[in-house]
Amino acid sequence: MCGRFAVTLPQDAMAQLFEARPANDLPEVPNYNVCPTNPVHVIHLGEAGRQLESMRWGFIPHWYKAPNDGPLLINARAETLAEKPAFRAAARSRRALIPATGFYEWTKDAEGVRYPWYITRQDGAPLAFAALWQDWEAEGQHLRTAAIVTCAANEQMGRIHHRMPVVLAPEDWALWLGEEGKGAAPLMRPAPEETLTAHRVDRKVNSNRAAGPELIEPIED
């Protein structure tokens, strides 16, 4: 799964990397502790091509009468999103990318103590998570929302957690966004082994109020 991540890429660099037109209300960067329901950077196709916008991390199905009217859908399972009522329409026509510098995952010891890991690309390049987005409106309230697509972990990441976000290579961005026609389903797979690297970080990131670059600094196991 993906329940917390960091984004440090400047907004202008983000727009240039993804060749997207940026909105004026993008979330502030750097943010070393992006949490569910926070605004996140999302690249999607608009009328004028790729758009870089702010969306709420937490997909809200159209039938919710309020944002908290059901489970908080921060992730969409790749194996079932084409059939799930909440995601199937978005999987066909509202696919997106969510940029990140790295993401966090946790392991537990025999006593149930949670130990955080920070996971990045080995080559230092930004991550691009496969995502879905949805407009939601009720009683005059309008939100644009998104969820990160996850898949079974590869062997390397499986040592930490059994799920991982779908990380898309740059050559796959256009197909996922729908710019190169259909056939994006095969992209929903684990990243190749050795694409990512992980290191332990301080347990202070267990708090959603923690902030600062020290959250991603490696510590001794």
Q: Is 156 helix (H, G, I), strand (E, B) or coil?
A: helix
pLDDT digits over 30-75, tens only? 999 999 999 999 999 998 899 999 999 999 999 999 999 999 999 9
Amino acid at 221: D
Of 9, 190, 165, residue with least CA distance to 96:
165
Question: Residue holding tokens 């095969």?
Answer: 186
Predicted confidence at residue 33, as pLDDT, reads 98
Residue 134 corresponds to which amino acid? Q
| Domains located in the chain, CATH noted | 5-215 (3.90.1680.10)
Residues with Cβ within 8 Å of residue 144, at least 6 apart in sequence: 53, 54, 55, 56, 133, 134, 135, 136
Q: Which residues of 151-172 are buried (b: 16+ CB within 10 A; e: fewer)?
A: bebbebbeebbebbbbbbeeeb
Of residues 2, 171, 180, 220, which has the active-site annotation? 2
Per-residue pLDDT tens digits for 80-119:
999 999 999 999 999 999 999 999 999 998 888 899 999 9
Percent of the chain with pLDDT over 70: 99
Torsion over CA: 94, 44, 125, 107 (sign)? negative
The per-residue pLDDT of the chain, averaged, comes to 95
What pLDDT sits at residue 221? Answer: 64
% residues pLDDT > 90 (the chain): 91
How do residues 167-188 score in pLDDT, each as one tens digit? Answer: 999 999 999 999 998 889 999 9
pLDDT score recorded for residue 220: 78
Task: Decide: pTM greater than 0.85.
Answer: yes
pLDDT of residue 2: 83
Catalytic residue among 19, 83, 105, 139: 105
Residues 28-45 as b/e (b if ≥16 CB within 10 A, e otherwise) read ebebbbbbbebbbbbbbb
Would you call 2 a catalytic residue per the annotation?
Answer: yes
- Cα distance between residue 97 and residue 52, in whole Å: 9
Say which residues have a Cβ less than 8 Å from residue 103's Cβ, sequence separation at least 6: 2, 4, 5, 6, 118, 119, 127, 165
